[in-house]
Amino acid sequence: MSAASRRPVVIIGAGPVGVTAALLLARHGVPSLLLERHRGIYPLPRAVVVDDEIRRILQSVGVHEEFATLARPAPGLRLLDARRRVIAEFPRSLHGHHGFPQTSMFDQPELERLLRDALARRPECELRGGVEVVSVSQDTDRTAPVRVTFRRDGSDEEEHVWADAVLGCDGAGSITRDAIGAVWEDLHFEESWRVIDVRTSRRVSSWDGAEQICCPTRPATYMRVGEDRYRWEFRLDDDERLDGPQGRARLRELVAPWVDLPSDGSEDDDFEVIRQAQYTFRARLADRWRRGRVFLLGDAAHLTPPFIGQGLCAGLRDARNLTWKLARVLQQGADDRLLDTYERERKPHARHMVRVAVAVGWAMTGGQDRGAAIRRAVVGAACRIPGVTAAVSRDLSPALAANPLVRRRPRLTGRSLAGTFCPQPRVIVDGRRERLDDILGDSFAVLTALPPTARMTGVATALGASVIHVDDLDDDGTLAAWLSRGRADAVLLRPDRVVMDTVPTGTGDFTDAAAWAPLLHTARRPAEARPAP
């Protein structure tokens, strides 16, 4: 199909997940049409934290430098008791595995503006605001095009567009989820919390990371978002209000452990409540994420309590995982079964993250049963064991399980690199210091500590991959040390920088390509990456 006649991928919802998906598809030359019910960016803050893996995704869509000017690295998370004594501290590094600070605080509308600006520069992408999608329908053939019906603001007339695929990035009330017949699986957490975003020049007494108050009667979360921006989250009773004169007095009581406000209410000029909203924090997972060429991403597929700051992160991981596979099917003729690996990889990962958030919610800041205090005491004792908090911080996101795109081998000792991410050090190329992903490009890549074998070269040719010897990269030794710790002589990296296959030290070569070639079948073409020096 020619570029002129190609149907677009329709993305329902132009929030951060939808726009990121469109930008990632554009990197592979796939056109997209975004349908968004709002005409502009929602102006109030919602998500406020991302990790270093997400910043690597923002790098892949070309907005990481601008984002760095808006983001504030945070040192981690502290668990405090009701008297604000530290139970445990989970540190986060300024130099994470992915080449960025492990935790970054930000203002969501500012991120959305960066993404929208990048979208406007891509001719492959079209955004239509003020559009309500009313139905998504498809034939029984799982490869058939999808019909999306919508109405524009102020019009009762229905229009439709045919799509090669539909990405439902339309949130918790997703019409796309209903269209594929998916239902929620309840992961057993539901609490009502008040979220308060504040701008103030007053001195706030806390550290620069996040704080979780572990109190069964008044749990709370505090985060410093920016130079003068702060967020508090409190679990309130149904009849508690924070607006009006009595509500303002109650708000002063709640924030008093962090900031001293005068009791006469004269703080209005230098303690501005930007937004307060009541949220019901839920833990849910859609029972299916795909039907034919229709997919669920972000809050349409999973809902997580915010206690570990992974809500938006999970949605952007969805976009990164799916888009390169979809592009390979649409652009390069890969087998449609490749798309089955999206749910197979992402759903267990999302379930794990939701369960971690639920555990934090119940054991730390939630749960009013008699066992709550015991759980907090046990966690506090465990976190005092040397190395435990560092290990929890490092291993929050698990490796992908074995599947056709993650080739696990039997091992006697050590941790396999398959299913994990390649680190991203800075490297020097042509006298310039750059990040590794900018050298690897958007395709597969082989990193090797040995001279390339015939099979390595064959695998690289079949996948349009570059072959790079780590000694040719001036990277301070990060890559060689990573291969050595993983007992690997070489790795095959997917476009999302997950390790697909390894060559265990001194044992031979990559797995026979027959295991994965049917899924990734493609016309052979030159690698997109620049050669290493």
In the chain (533 residues long), the average pLDDT of successive 10-residue segments reads: 68 98 97 96 88 97 96 91 85 93 94 98 97 93 90 92 97 96 94 91 88 86 92 86 82 89 67 88 96 97 91 97 96 92 97 90 59 58 53 67 86 74 92 92 93 88 90 91 94 96 86 73 45 38
Q: In angstroms, rounded to a whole number, what is the distance separating the alpha carbons of residues 313 and 427?
A: 26
24: in domain: yes
Q: Clarify whether residues 25 and 125 are in a common domain.
A: yes
Q: In angstroms, rounded to a whole number, what is the distance separating the alpha carbons of residues 515 and 455?
A: 14
pLDDT of residue 3: 43
Q: In angstroms, rounded to a whole number, what is the distance separating the alpha carbons of residues 186 and 167?
A: 23
Contact 377, 384 (CB under 8 A): no
| CATH number of residue 332's parent domain | 3.50.50.60
233: in domain: no
DSSP string for residues in 440-494: HTTS-EEEESSPPPHHHHHHHHHHT-EEEEGGGSBSTTHHHHHHHHTTEEEEEE-
408: in domain: no
**Nearest-10 crossing angle of helices 311-332, 16-27:** 30
Q: Which of 340, 362, 384 is the last residue of a domain?
A: 362
pLDDT of residue 530: 40
Domain of residue 292: give its range: 9-70+106-185+284-362
Q: Clarify whether residues 36 and 120 are in a common domain.
A: yes
Rounded to the nearest 10 degrees, how much is the dihedral formed by the CA atoms of 252, 258, 259, 263? 30
132: in domain: yes
136: in domain: yes
Which long-range CB contacts under 8 A does 115-118 form with residues at least 24 apart?
115/16, 115/19, 115/20, 115/23, 115/61, 115/63, 116/14, 116/19, 116/41, 117/63, 118/19, 118/23, 118/61, 118/62, 118/63
pLDDT of residue 396: 65
Q: Clarify whether residues 133 and 25 are in a common domain.
A: yes
- Count how many domains the chain has: 2
Q: Clarify whether residues 28 and 145 are in a common domain.
A: yes
pLDDT of residue 269: 67
Q: Which of 309, 343, 362 is the last residue of a domain?
A: 362
Q: In angstroms, rounded to a whole number, what is the distance separating the alpha carbons of residues 62 and 348?
A: 29
Q: In angstroms, rounded to a whole number, what is the distance separating the alpha carbons of residues 226 and 141?
A: 50
Q: Clarify whether residues 443 and 354 are in a common domain.
A: no
Rounded to the nearest 10 degrees, how much is the dihedral formed by the CA atoms of 287, 289, 293, 294? 90
pTM as predicted: 0.91
Q: Clarify whether residues 57 and 161 are in a common domain.
A: yes
Q: Clarify whether residues 314 and 449 are in a common domain.
A: no
Q: Clarify whether residues 153 and 289 are in a common domain.
A: yes
Q: Clarify whether residues 180 and 288 are in a common domain.
A: yes
Buried b (16+ CB within 10 A) or exposed e, 49-59: bbbbbbbbbbb
401: in domain: no
| CB atoms inside a 10 Å sphere around CB 493 | 23
From the list 153, 174, 136, 124, the residue with the least C-alpha distance to 17 is 174
Q: Which of 336, 362, 388 is the last residue of a domain?
A: 362
Q: In angstroms, rounded to a whole number, what is the distance separating the alpha carbons of residues 492 and 508?
A: 14
| CATH number of residue 462's parent domain | 3.40.30
Q: In angstroms, rounded to a whole number, what is the distance separating the alpha carbons of residues 60 and 70?
A: 18
Q: What are 262's two structure tokens?
A: 């005068």
Structure-token match 């004792």, residue found: 381
291: in domain: yes
Q: How far is CA 149 from CA 22, 136, 140, 152, in A?
A: 20, 6, 18, 10
500: in domain: yes
Q: Clarify whether residues 433 and 345 are in a common domain.
A: no
Q: Clarify whether residues 331 and 454 are in a common domain.
A: no
Q: In angstroms, rounded to a whole number, what is the distance separating the alpha carbons of residues 396 and 383?
A: 15
Q: Clarify whether residues 289 and 159 are in a common domain.
A: yes
